[in-house]
Amino acid sequence: MPSNEHDAALTGNNREEPPAFSPEWAFFLDVDGTLLDIADHPHSIRVDPGLRHLLRELLALTDGALALVSGRAIADIDRLLASANFCVAGQHGAERRDAAGRLHLHRLSLGKLRRAGLRLRRLVAEHPQLVLEDKGMSLALHYRLAPQLGEEVRDVMRAMVDKLGDRFELQTGKMVFEIKVGGTDKGAAIEEYMREKPFRKRLPVFVGDDLTDEAGFEFVNRVGGHSIKVGEGVSSARWRLADANAVRAWLGTFIDRHRSADQAS
């Protein structure tokens, strides 16, 4: 049985007991819906200053084996979480900053994507409740404020991907459709990190909440790590946390346990 209220928030899809915390874990954390509560607009996200402190402590306890893995651009994550010293994979792995601070990009011509962005801006002008997020190497069209437009958004985005060719693909998310670089996903980004220090030879733990996180769950499952789904919905993840607040509490428990263990030793 779970040993405390934080462990009780974590339940396995296969009804096994939650995994025991280990200092040998490497943490991979999604941002929106996982560390942060989802907002109606991507730019209206509110960040508790305590979260930044929690992430810094987690980074220290894991000797740097912590990466944020998000659909947001790296620059946007740095702005939100003051994460310039963190490993970050942005835009579903199209860009990735490693532990040495090197930036890895999937190179491609973005001219067609820029033209697609202009067409989407015209669509947003016709439907002001839609929110277009231009991340540089991907385009996300959010319809959270206009759920009745979901099918139209899907059809428009799908048609654009068909015109852009096989270098791009359509990614479905929570009340959003996104045109992103083909062949990139969060699973591939995590796999790249696992080949590098300080992640190499550790056990990967990935926490995410959305369809965009399933590739990450699948990779982590394949290598025997721990995959944790936040919120409801069918998922390949092995464990589950209720919401972003439960994620922060669970990470806090990890920090408290290992700080106590260090003091005892």
Question: What are the pLDDT digits (tens) for 38-80?
Answer: 877 777 778 888 999 999 999 999 999 999 999 999 999 999 9
Partner residues linked to 251 by β-bridges: none
pTM: 0.85
| pLDDT given at position 46 | 81
Phi, psi of 142 (to 5 degrees): -95, 135
Q: pLDDT at position 45, please?
A: 79
The pLDDT score that the predictor gives to residue 167 is 85
Q: Catalytic site residues? A: 30
**Which residue from 180, 167, 82, 78 is spatially nearest to 139, judged by alpha carbons?**
180
Q: Give the pLDDT score at 113.
A: 86
Give the chain's residues under pLDDT 50: 1-9, 11-12, 14-17
Distance of CA 164 to the CA centre of its chain: 25
Name the phi and psi angles at 70, rounded to 5: -140, 160
Per-residue pLDDT tens digits for 191-223: 999 999 999 999 999 999 999 999 999 999 999
Question: What is the C-alpha separation between 126 and 34, in angstroms, rounded?
Answer: 32
Neighbour-count burial of 113, counting CB atoms closer than 10 A to its CB (0-12 exposed, 13-18 middle, 19+ buried): buried
pLDDT for residue 1: 30
Domains of the chain: 5-13+23-106+184-264 (3.40.50.1000), 111-181 (3.30.70.1020)
HEC secondary structure over 99-129: CCCCEEECCCCCHHHHHHHHHHHHHHHHCCC
